[in-house]
Structure 1
């Protein structure tokens, strides 16, 4: 029996990056069908990086690193958090993932990992279209890069529908934030909170089975 696990996340969410190892392993599991559901949590709103927000983000990132072992490099701290006045907006990365979902859906999870590591390890600005376009092309995802640049109506409509669906799931199950999982099997659908993503994959699978 296959269990569907819907992953509610945002590409600029540090805690979601912290859950990356578990999510990547989940995506390779034979009995799990993983669906990515970007929530648009950090899309729009006009937020820009300032000193106070950068300090708040870094304090969270230090906690995430200690809990999960994920790397938050000095390049990220200086080039991303230190870039005062830059945009903090996940719209571009979210659109890029939808473009991959439309063109090479089997590689969307891989693309998410690349986007996260580009930001938190390489210190690249994944809010910027040229940066994300190059990342996609370097992965051989030229069709997705073309869609991102064109910003065509189908892409925008598909992206809006994905975000709307994800937000609807969050409201339906009372999710307080991301990362969060919605587990669906023969017993129906139920919420599995994100803290289950910070242990071993065996522990995560046990939570999914028991959810």
Structure 2
């Protein structure tokens, strides 16, 4: 039995959901977490104009109120010629997964989120992603060089694996990020689609676990 989180590090509601999911996983150590990246704007090619920035800032304000997390608006507004393509950051998550298949993927996911939302770094740039992700892996105790991370990040196999994640999320009918599912013996059950409070998640998860225990009795 495991939890499956479908999200995108450059989705603002996923950023707001980070602390909630972290607390949930810390109180449920018996339930491993798997992350499937959704690619909310994967492959985008349009330059984000002022109207697009203002639109996102409206979302950020709502996320900030709901989650209490802060955003670096000044750094975001100052960026010129920015293409909001989330494929590279999703690919960084998939790359890290290959280096650390048995580790909880959430800390690295959250580190990438903070790099974009708090540090105002360009997380569409390969150099930035390599530095942040390889550093996060090193902090977790893995000896992964920046060059090794870059080589795998730029490989066809990881590009294909990232696209496979996008396709898998679509095949499950996921239309909103973040989404959280529980998988039990190959069967999926949706716990949340969209930002959801910890209390609601715990109530839903307790119901699933209770039904599982009843069926096994």
Q: Which residue matches 1:125?
A: 122
- TM-score of the superposed pair, with normalisation by structure 1: 0.84
Q: Which residue matches 1:168?
A: 171
Q: Which piece of structure 1 moves more, 90-99 or 129-138?
A: 129-138
- TM-score of the superposed pair, with normalisation by structure 2: 0.82
Query: May I ask how many residue pairs the two structures share in their alignment?
Result: 200
**In 2, Cα distance between equivalents of 1:157 and 1:77:** 33
Answering whether residue 144 of structure 2 is matched by residue 143 of structure 1, we say yes
Q: Cα–Cα, structure 1 residues 146 and 210, in superposed 2: closer, same or farther, change >3 Å?
A: farther
Q: Cα–Cα, structure 1 residues 97 and 126, in superposed 2: closer, same or farther, change >3 Å?
A: same
**In 2, Cα distance between equivalents of 1:138 and 1:206:** 36
Matches within 5 A, 1:12-51: 12-28=10-26, 29-51=28-50
Q: Which residue matches 2:162?
A: 159
**In 1, Cα distance between equivalents of 2:147 and 2:24:** 29
Q: Cα–Cα, structure 1 residues 144 and 7, in superposed 2: closer, same or farther, change >3 Å?
A: farther
Which of 107, 111, 127 aligns to 2:108? It is: 111
Offset of 1:82 from its aligned partner?
3.2
Q: Which residue matches 2:70?
A: 71
Q: Which residue matches 1:60?
A: 59
Q: Secondary structure at the match of 1:193?
A: strand
Contact 2:134 2:149 in 1 (8 A): no
Offset of 1:148 from its aligned partner?
4.9
Q: Cα–Cα, structure 1 residues 7 and 43, in superposed 2: closer, same or farther, change >3 Å?
A: same
Unmatched runs of 5 consecutive residues or more in structure 2: 209-217
Contact 1:18 1:198 in 2 (8 A): no
Q: Which residue matches 1:134?
A: 131
Superposed CA deviations along residues 52-89 of structure 1, whole A, max 9, x for unmatched, are 111010111011111111111xxx31222431321101
Q: Which residue matches 1:85?
A: 81
Larger radius of gyration: 2
**In 2, Cα distance between equivalents of 1:24 and 1:111:** 12
Superposed CA deviations along residues 145-182 of structure 1, whole A, max 9, x for unmatched, are 4355331122222222222212211x2xxx33111112
